[in-house]
Structure 1
Amino acid sequence: MMEGGTTIKLLDLPGQQVSEWLRSFDTVLSDGDGTIWQDDTEIEGAAAVLNALQNHHGKRVYIITNNGLKTRSELFGRAQHLGFQVPNDQHIISPTATIVEHLKQLPDFDSSKHKVYVVGNAAIGRELRENGIESYGAGVEEPLAKGDKWQDFAMRELTKPEAADNVGAVVVGWDEHFSYCKMARACHILCRNENSAFLVTNRDAVHKYPNFCIPGTGAFVAGIEACAGREALEMGKPNPVVLEPLIQSGALRPQRTLMIGDCPKMDIAFARNCGMQSLLVGTGSFPLDILQQNSHLPQPDFYLPKLGDLLQFL
């Protein structure tokens, strides 16, 4: 960012200056939804830009997403299908994969005897299973049975030893089947097992669509935090913990890394938290003129209307 905190519009710079800027980083992290793709459709020019940065300019490219509805390998498959040439699924940084990596590092979690309770979608269960971690609850409906009162459910389910014994973690993700029963199970486990991990894929409170808004994962985890009296550890942006494996291995130096994204609260805040350069693209919900009217939001170092606009400099 220029002196005084002014965001630089890359399209206003001469080519020589953009070339110098490109030489200032070795690694590129790019958000997924809204930045390089929308669902299963590439945003025009995004693949060509990331492929050129990797293949012709020698940058290490990673796709980093808060999408907890797919496993790392599934997201890698999407990237390949849409033409992004990242070398392998280790170049996908996703909440489901970060959860696995975090659990494996916890001294109090033993995958040979501990299982994980998931309030979330089936992808979390698939990622855990693929990595040898037993879980239950992912993608499952659990409404209060017709005719049941909460006391009936609690006495029948929560008084069993297996309701909390050997449950080493509670993981919360986006869950269309979120219910009182799931909240009660999570609360019981977290209150009974003080050493159990409490993880959340992300804290997106709401998902906004053109015609409606729906609750996000942040809304679900807030209820569980309130009743359990504990705070969940976020496994997605803007928490810098998601980059720890790459930083510790020496594969990434934050001061030589560019973060590309479309969301100030997640992507630009993440870049700031990690000490990285940031590039905001206007293909999400925050064109620059709208962002600059909200001074309380993190402001990016650089701006492009869309990532494909960088192609002319490559």
Structure 2
Amino acid sequence: MLEGGTINMLDLSGEQVSEWLRSFDTVLSDGDGTIWQDDTAIEGAAAVLNALQNQFGKRVYLITNNGLKTRRELFERAQRLGFQVPNDQHIISPTATIVDHLKQLPDFDSTKHKVFVVGNAAIGRELQANGIDSYGAGEEEPLPMGEKWQDFALREFTKPEAADNVGAVVVGWDEHFSYCKMARASHILCRNGSSAFLVTNRDAVHKYPALCIPGTAAFVAGIEACAGREALEMGKPSPVVLEPLIQSGALRPERTLMIGDCPKIDIAFARNCGMQSLLVGTGSYQLDILQQNGSLPQPDLYLPRLGDLLQFL
């Protein structure tokens, strides 16, 4: 296999690329910024992933930190944009990982436990589709005008149902984040030591880095500070995301390629899991920026865009 620092694949020969293609069996590809931008496919990305799957026999999975859509919704987007992933089990998303994780927890019983969600409605839809009751997802809960926090706390948290039988608190990106939601989550986590505490991802800035919109990391940090507990991350770069595939034997990290556009998330994820990595420049990080900042996780390989790989296939 190729050795050294980050290699620009455009500098490689066809023989070197062929050798590289033989070094992995499975491909994990990030979504936003790597193969699509919102509902528009990045030119050439679908053709590359489809070729790796259909012509070279690679198992292809799409992996995203997007907690604003369910696994099924992301699969439908992929199909609509021309990505020929076999089924929605080839979509790895925080909402689906949350469900998978809750199902294997010995202390969580979906017949009697519910989940409190500080996050968007997609989390609630994913839980409901898998037979798990939840509340709070996508809802507003402001402190009523003229009411003091003491009034809210006495009214809500003196009720047993405010914390009893709540088996998990899940935090995701939430445009309706409020003091009341943070207080409710903190109360549950402090009262129920056995309740799970999960976060979709720890992205510091949500989706539009140039605009500095607070990401999920900002929301979960406040709750962690209050509850004195650390949330378990259900998105990249946490290795927890891949546990089901590794345990089933569907994926061997040492024979897997991770493709992404963000060094701090995608390349760090590859490093944490022992996978090869390919960074594409269709996000916020091009090769010159990467080389100027040695503190960033460095990928094995770089391409200006994933579609540039077509010339070698």
What TM-score range do you get, normalising by the shorter chain? over 0.9
Q: CA deviation at 1:207?
A: 2.8
Which residue number in structure 2 is paired with residue 81 of structure 1? 80
| In 1: Cα distance, 2:112 partner to 2:206 partner | 37
Which residue number in structure 1 is paired with residue 117 of structure 2? 118
CA deviations over 1:87-133 (Å, ceiling 9, x no partner) = 00000000000000000000000000000000000000000000000
Which residue number in structure 1 is paired with residue 307 of structure 2? 308
| In 1: Cα distance, 2:164 partner to 2:246 partner | 35
Once the two structures are superposed, the pairs formed by residues 85-96 of structure 1 within 5 Å of their partners are: 85-96=84-95
What secondary structure is seen at the aligned counterpart in 2 of 1:207?
Answer: coil
Please identify, of 60-69 and 208-217, the stretch whose mean Cα deviation from structure 2 is larger. Answer: 208-217
CA deviations over 1:236-266 (Å, ceiling 9, x no partner) = 0000111011111111011110000000011
Q: CA deviation at 1:25?
A: 0.4
Which residue number in structure 1 is paired with residue 106 of structure 2? 107
Which residue number in structure 2 is paired with residue 179 of structure 1? 178
Residue 264 in structure 1 maps to residue 263 in structure 2: yes
| In 1: Cα distance, 2:267 partner to 2:154 partner | 47
| In 1: Cα distance, 2:210 partner to 2:61 partner | 32
Which residue number in structure 1 is paired with residue 166 of structure 2? 167
| In 2: Cα distance, 1:292 partner to 1:16 partner | 26
What secondary structure is seen at the aligned counterpart in 2 of 1:206?
Answer: coil
| In 2: Cα distance, 1:105 partner to 1:21 partner | 36
Residue 53 in structure 1 maps to residue 52 in structure 2: yes
What secondary structure is seen at the aligned counterpart in 2 of 1:19?
Answer: helix
AA aligned opposite 1:310: L
Which residue number in structure 2 is paired with residue 287 of structure 1? 286
RMSD: 1.0
What secondary structure is seen at the aligned counterpart in 1 of 2:78?
Answer: helix
Structure 1: gaps of 5 or more residues = none
Once the two structures are superposed, the pairs formed by residues 128-139 of structure 1 within 5 Å of their partners are: 128-139=127-138
Tell me if structure 1 keeps the 8 A contact 2:39–2:81: yes
Structure 2: gaps of 5 or more residues = none
AA aligned opposite 1:126: R
TM-score normalised per structure 1: 0.98
AA aligned opposite 1:75: L
What secondary structure is seen at the aligned counterpart in 1 of 2:168?
Answer: strand
What secondary structure is seen at the aligned counterpart in 2 of 1:156?
Answer: helix
Q: CA deviation at 1:206?
A: 1.3
| In 2: Cα distance, 1:288 partner to 1:161 partner | 55
CA deviations over 1:276-313 (Å, ceiling 9, x no partner) = 00000000000011011111110000000000000111
AA aligned opposite 2:11: D
- Stretches of 4+ moved more than 4 A in 1? none
AA aligned opposite 1:119: V
TM-score normalised per structure 2: 0.98
| In 2: Cα distance, 1:241 partner to 1:208 partner | 22
AA aligned opposite 1:309: D
